[in-house]
Amino acid sequence: MNIEERLRDAFEAAAGTVPPEAIRACPDPPRRRRRLDMPLYGWRRRALVPVATAVAVAVIVVGASIAASQLLTGNHHRGPNTPYGQLTVGAPYRGLPRYFITSAGDTSPLTVRDTSTGSITGRLAPPHGMFFPAVAAAADDRTFVVAVEPTSGRCAAGLYRIQLDSRGRPGGLVPLGITVPGTFSTDGGLALTPDGRIAAYTTYHCGQGNGEIGIINLRTHQVRKWSWAIPEDQAGLSLTADGRLLSFTDVLLARTTPPPGPIMGIPVTRPVTVELATDALPGATLERGHVVLRSAGAQAISSDGTKLYACTESPAARPAVPGTLGQKRNQTFTVTLRAYDARTGQPLSVLHRWPNQATDYCQLSRNASGSFLLIRLPAGLVWWNIAGNTAGPLLPATGLPFGEPISALSW
């Protein structure tokens, strides 16, 4: 019996423990007061006009103060709202990293693409029975570190280096002699400093319900690790240029017991971004880490450690049935890129908005030198120039086969 058959069998067995007669009766329609038709008497009628007036005044005052503060502080939206399709697709842009790599997270090859044309410059197949769960780039545009993990058997991954030649073709896998326990997280499980000296990883310990975050000096193989609740949605690791600060996203900080530091004591149920003071290994302390944001999804820290870039998704219009996922195809979303103060989490500015996205999805990867963000939207891949505050398209969804799963993305 293979794993799929075994799974079906186990699910059917567990489901069979619920007999049909155990199902409750259909719930009655909720009873609602017919407020619109109900006449207002007494104090309700007398209070209606003053309350409505007070609410209207409050809305006007709050709106005006927000607008004024944005104009005065310059925190208003700088770039235009840019529907993906209105830009010149695939236009080359000076200063972009030359190549980016994607991995499907299964046994298919790593794919290297040219950022100016979107064309595939090379592929690298994993060793037999292995796959590439994570990849991270160094700043020289040629060096990448990948994790290689067996599809079955041992729950551990090895780290390897890949060097691209001048035409973007990957050389062989060069073992770094480092094995990390566990299986890699879905998104952004590996980060690298620009010089390729320090790597950060996050893995999940198979069957143990927790994971670990580690910082490795790739030259000395010195490792510093912390046990951590498994990042369920996305890890999104990013390191500052000096390797001193690490940011990542975790949704279940409160689950880890006992709490090894102050972060762990915060009862958090929403996605958060926390920043660890890694101090480039020797003095690395988890205790100095802190929660920066409590609502961001994908995020990355700037290379100097002063800002945090995060994208959020919001529905463009009221959904057909509020609060449901099943209706998302009928509405559009706006993905917004914002900058935050990495120390306080204070919002600094709205950098850009991409409206008319088919789903609420955003994946974000900062390049190793810290000058660009690579953002995966439902409509395609786009770049954001951090210094120039400009955005542009890299590959539309039709250019990059978006049915093709992307588990790891790096440039």
Partner 1 sequence: MEASGPAPANRRESPSRELSTSDAASQIAALYREQALRLTRAALLLVGDLATAEDIVQEAFCGLYGGWWRLRDTAKAGAYVRAAVLNGCCRSVLRDRSRARRLLPPHDPPVWSPEAAAIAGEERREALEAVASLPRRAREVLVLRYYLGLADQEIAAALGVSRGTVSSTASRALAVLARELEEQQ
Which residues inside 346-375 make contact with partner 1, applying CB under 8 A? 359-361
**Does the protein bind partner 1 through residue 4 (CB under 8 A)?**
yes
**Does the protein bind partner 1 through residue 323 (CB under 8 A)?**
yes
**Does the protein bind partner 1 through residue 398 (CB under 8 A)?**
no
**Does the protein bind partner 1 through residue 9 (CB under 8 A)?**
yes
**Does the protein bind partner 1 through residue 406 (CB under 8 A)?**
yes
**Does the protein bind partner 1 through residue 271 (CB under 8 A)?**
no
Provide the β-strand partners of residue 410: 101
**Does the protein bind partner 1 through residue 12 (CB under 8 A)?**
yes
| From 33, 34, 35, 94, residue interacting with partner 1 (rule: CB under 8 A) | 34
| From 90, 118, 126, 133, residue interacting with partner 1 (rule: CB under 8 A) | 133
Secondary structure (DSSP) of 58-100: HHHHHHHHHHHHHHHHT-S--SPP--GGGS-TT---TTS-SEE
| From 150, 181, 260, 261, residue interacting with partner 1 (rule: CB under 8 A) | 150
Minimum CB distance to partner 1, residue 344 (Å): 28
Give the residue with the Cβ less far from partner 1, 18 or 387.
18
Q: What letters, b where the CB count within 10 A reaches 16 and e where it falls short, cover 134-157?
A: bbbbbbbbbbbbbbbbbeeeebeb
Cβ neighbours around 236 below 10 Å, total: 28
**Does the protein bind partner 1 through residue 287 (CB under 8 A)?**
no
Report the distance separating Cα 253 and Cα 268, nearest Å: 6
Give the residue with the Cβ less far from partner 1, 74 or 153.
153
Give the residue with the Cβ less far from partner 1, 351 or 374.
374
Q: CA distances (Å), 138 to each of 53, 83, 146, 224, 346, in order?
A: 59, 31, 11, 20, 29
Number of residues that bind partner 1 (CB under 8 A): 71
Report the distance separating Cα 309 and Cα 341, nearest Å: 9
Name 69's Cβ contacts closer than 8 Å, sequence gap at least 6.
75
Q: What letters, b where the CB count within 10 A reaches 16 and e where it falls short, cover 90-104?
A: beebeebbbbbbbbb
Minimum CB distance to partner 1, residue 60 (Å): 29
The full length of the chain comes to 411
**Does the protein bind partner 1 through residue 39 (CB under 8 A)?**
no
Binding positions for partner 1, 181-240, rule CB under 8 A:
183, 186, 204, 206-209, 230, 232-233
Report the distance separating Cα 157 and Cα 212, nearest Å: 13
Report the distance separating Cα 248 and Cα 364, nearest Å: 12
Give the residue with the Cβ less far from partner 1, 88 or 324.
324
Query: What track of x and - describes contact with partner 1 for positions 328 through 347 (by CB under 8 A)?
Result: xxx-----------------
From 191-199, 291-299, 381-389, 401-409, span contacting partner 1 (CB under 8 A) = 401-409
| From 29, 39, 50, 74, residue interacting with partner 1 (rule: CB under 8 A) | 29
CB 280 within 8 A of CB 243: yes
**Does the protein bind partner 1 through residue 26 (CB under 8 A)?**
yes
From 19-27, 167-175, 241-249, 292-300, span contacting partner 1 (CB under 8 A) = 19-27
Give the residue with the Cβ less far from partner 1, 317 or 387.
317
Provide the β-strand partners of residue 149: 131
Give the residue with the Cβ less far from partner 1, 39 or 403.
403
Minimum CB distance to partner 1, residue 371 (Å): 28
Strand ranges in 115-241 using DSSP code E only, listed in sequence order: 120-124, 130-137, 143-150, 156-163, 174-181, 183-184, 190-192, 198-204, 210-217, 223-229, 238-239
**Does the protein bind partner 1 through residue 125 (CB under 8 A)?**
no
Give the residue with the Cβ less far from partner 1, 139 or 364.
364
**Does the protein bind partner 1 through residue 407 (CB under 8 A)?**
yes
Helices marked H in 247-342 — which ranges? Answer: none
Minimum CB distance to partner 1, residue 35 (Å): 11
